[in-house]
Amino acid sequence: MKRVISEHFTLAKREIDLLRTLQHPNVVRYFSTESDGTFHYIAIELAEFSLADLVEKRQDLEDCQGLDEISILEGSCRGLAHLHSINVIHRDIKPHNILIARHSVSGTRKVLISDFGVSKTLSGAERTISNDFISTTRVVKGTDGWIAPEVL
């Protein structure tokens, strides 16, 4: 569950609209949105921990049933490749936004990309190589310390 203050919901609505269109095994699924006046609650696929948790807490990969370093990288890359194939640029890839969830049927772990708050969907004109770089880097988006060096 992601909780957003109602006055900031306009930004979150963009993320929700994008999440509704995304369907891939390595991208977090969106379920619904509810509000109580103060907050909007966004229900997304349940994950047990993030890649940051795995690294920072030195959680044992043996607990991850079917995941190792290579499969985490492969799952992340598959999710990113899907996003890029539909002209979505995430702009905030970092360990906190790579989630580890349990597959509902098999019980094995899977990798999910999450948090599309600063992502951008490129329009036709922005898809060219020269315009792509310029249009996505005018305003630096992302988390300090995780912004791609070519953007800086």
What CATH fold (topology level) applies to the domain 2-137? Transferase(Phosphotransferase); domain 1 (1.10.510)
In this structure, is the dihedral angle defined by the CA atoms of residues 142, 46, 63 and 81, taken in order, positive or negative? negative
Active site residue 63: no
Rounded to the nearest 5 percent, the helix, strand and coil shares of the chain are: 40, 20, 40
Q: Taking residues 102-119, what's their average pLDDT?
A: 86
Which residue in 53, 60, 63, 92 is the catalytic one?
Answer: 92
pLDDT at 116 over 70: yes
pLDDT band at 15 (very low <50, low <70, confident <90, very high): confident
CA distance 90 to 75: 15
What is the pLDDT at residue 58? Answer: 64
pLDDT digits (tens, 9 = 90+) for 21-40: 999 999 999 999 998 989 98
Q: CB-based contacts of 64: which residues, under 8 Å, 6+ apart?
A: 54, 100, 109
For the entire predicted model, the pTM comes to: 0.79
Asked if residues 95 and 55 have their Cβ atoms less than 8 Å apart, the reply is yes
Dihedral pair phi/psi, residue 74, rounded to 5°: -60, -45
pLDDT digits (tens, 9 = 90+) for 51-86: 998 888 766 666 666 688 899 999 999 999 999 999
Domain ranges of the chain: 2-137
Dihedral pair phi/psi, residue 61, rounded to 5°: -65, -20
What is the pLDDT at residue 2? Answer: 86
